Structures are given as structure tokens and as C-alpha cells.
A and B are shown apart, each in its own frame.
Chain A
């Protein structure tokens, strides 16, 4: 469903993502781990068509995001890192706008919006202005936007960031549930999430994949049975000089 083929992104002379290749199949939830600045968000922005890659390609459901961006984008639901929203709109207005821009209209639009509100438990705030919502609700509104058109591929950039433990649990359950029928790529630095929600995980560091496997395999690889130890062993710290 998602095939990333030696994707590279350079900002000036700095290489943010360096010939990254991986794939996510239907029914898989891939956890995308790595320290801050490892290139996780940049990779996701390239797969979703926001950043054009310097070289390489990403295919979503077999459609190249570089060659056919408009078509590929219809297959993707994307939650950006900071969960950006049009704050002057109501939740309902925002979701209706997103549905319309996804090409939904009439009853299809209405039921898609209802379904997304239901999935993300936004019923109680649907008529409220986004400005007045708490962070958890805003995050869920943005997540609802990603689910509107029932995409085959979900790309979630730190979907649990800034949520309270209850909300984190709910989002993980949701990801797990959706992962049965979709291909999901989500980034996180919370290592316990990998065991809780992922079928597979990759660890990236400075734009390169440094570990790849099922949670069980990664635990075995760590030697100590702790993902934190593995993470610390394979990634570099930003206090160290660049290699």
C-alpha cells in the first residue's frame, strides 16, 4: 500500500532523509521511531505530497506521489504533527469543508462527517468553534479530518503527542482497530506505543533506517528485552558531534 523507494530530501547541504526505503502493507501498522530531527516528519511530508522529494519516489496504492500527486492524495489520510486547524470554523464546518474538498457531496458528505465525528467522539463539541476546544479535542478533530474519506492509507505524525493517558489509550486502540483494514504509518517517540499498537517498527536516525522488525524481533535484538536500550544503542544523541 505504501512503498517508499530510496526517498531523499536535502535542505540546502543538509540531508534530512537519506535514501530511505520501506513498505507498509494492508493490515499493517508501522511505527516510525527515531529521535527528534531524525527525518520522520520530513519523510511523512514527502509521502503525503507536501514536500517534493529531492530524489526517489513513494507509491501509495501503486500510484506515484511524484507523478500523480492529485490521484495519490485521494488515497491518503494525514494527521500533521501539530494538528493544524482553521480555528475560526466550528468542528462541523471544518469537517464539512474537508469532506467537500475531498470530493464528497450530498448524502455521502453528510454520512462521512457523521461517521468521523462518531469515530473520534466529537459529538459533544460538533457545533463549537475550534478556537474554544481543548488540545485533546483539537487533536481528535484533525484526526477526524484524516478519516473522512475512509482512506486506504493513514499517515499519522505523532498522533498521541500532547494527549492525556486516557486519550492516548483511546487513540492507540483506534489505530489498532483501523490497522486491520488499512495501511498505517505513524511516528512516535513513545516506545511503549510500539508494543501496544504496531505490527512492525522501524527506527530512523539521521535519515537512515537503523533497525527494522516486529516488536518481538526488536526486543530480541536489544538483548536486554527493553526497546529503550535498543533505541539508545542505535540512535545518536543531538549532544554528540555529527558523524
Chain B
């Protein structure tokens, strides 16, 4: 039974994260997931200190506030401080994370959180983190929280699908068509914050980043339709969760880490064997001298690659 709960938690986290992550990947803001998942730490720690309990609701509020604060500070620093987006993001989230770690260390006796569990979570303990409602055992608490956040995300995406789509692909067009871009932007950032926080508590910061970025990127390689990309990213998130769980069981290691590894494995497969644009097929077709009509990869500036 505990296996079921762990896998269900991972799958819910994966679905919630990859749905919003898809938009971050399309908006080229993937690192925002990383930033938010680190920066919410002081919020969680402060909520913990103030309420002296692991009550979820204050934690969600504290973390949500710091998530939005990260987005806000990053944008402010970029505009006022004349810094590049990545540099301002790097400053904001590392500082907030450091403050969070310091708070936790200072109040180690009161705060029952340790740094490693923040990084790679305690998904293995999920089955024992039960929600008792009116004396009735409702099953693990994280399952409920993640399920709720997933539902919120689905409602947000379905109700604003058209607006999100235009916003994701062409912000200027969205503005000119009268889409309330700021509303959509902060709505999306709010969803990212909530998904991050809900998932963070059970699966840890790094797995959150993996779930936000990798399954959507994998799906992005396999389709050119947003609706299919969303569905495929959820599918890959779930597949990674299940296979990651058994990988961890087999190697007797961290479940969250193993799930992150599996998302990477699926991405690698898609990168090489995607029928659309995979490296393997491109080589094969190149041999048949059909590359010209199939070079879909153009349209991306050549200079944009990470060197040091």
C-alpha cells in the first residue's frame, strides 16, 4: 500500500509541475522553477517558526509569498539595477535560500526541517504523513495537497487556454490582441509557486526543478501542438515517477533523485529518437539527402547556446 501512495504522490507532483512547466519552457523561463523552488525556503521556515507546527496552510502562504517575491524582486532588479535577467534571478534566489538555511540552522531545535530533506525531499515518508479529518483517516496529506494544486492548475489552464497559448508563443502579439498579459503572467507565476511549494514539501527542491523542466522539454521535442505537449509532458512525468521509484528501490537510494534521473533518461531518448526532429533520424534522413525540407530546427538564433 505504501508503494501505491508514494507513486501516486510522485505522479501528482509530476503532473502539476509539468503542466505549468510547459509554459515556462515555451516562455524560455525554465530557470524560474529553479529560482522559486529554492527561494520559498525562508517562507516555509518562517511559517514553521511562527505556527510551531507542520501545518500546511501557513506554510503554503509563507512559501507563496516568497515565490511571488522572487519573481517581483528579479524583475525589479533587472529593470532598476540594469542587470541581466539570469544574474538578477541568481542573486535573488541564492540569497533567499541562504537566508532560509540560516534560519533553519539557527532555530534547529524548533524547526524540524533539515537541509537535505529540503533538497531531495522525504517522499519515502509520505504514507505515514496522514490527514486525519474528523477522526477519519483520509490517506496521506501530500496526496490531497498535490491533488488540489493539480486541480487548480488544470482549471487555470483550461479556462485561460487560448490566452496562455498566445502569451506563451508571442507576448507582443498577445499584448496587441488585448490579452491581459500581466494577469496571465502573474497567474502563471502563482501557479508555478503553488505547484513548486506543494511538490517541494514531499519531493524536494531539485526534483521540482526536474519535473518542471525536463518532461515538458521532452514533450516539446515530440510534438508541435501545445495541447499534445501538455498531455505528453504529463505522461512523461508519470512514467518517470513510476520507473524512478523502482530504480530507487533497486539501487537502495533516494527516490526523488532517481525520478530526476529517469526524466533525464526519457529526455535523452526523445533527443535522439524523436520522429520529428531526433538526432538519429536527422542523420538517417540526411543520408537520404532530404535534410533540406526537413530542417525544422532553424528559426533559432545560432548564438544562443550555453558556453561559459
- A and B are partners in one complex rather than unrelated chains: no
Identify the A interface with B (CB < 8 A).
none
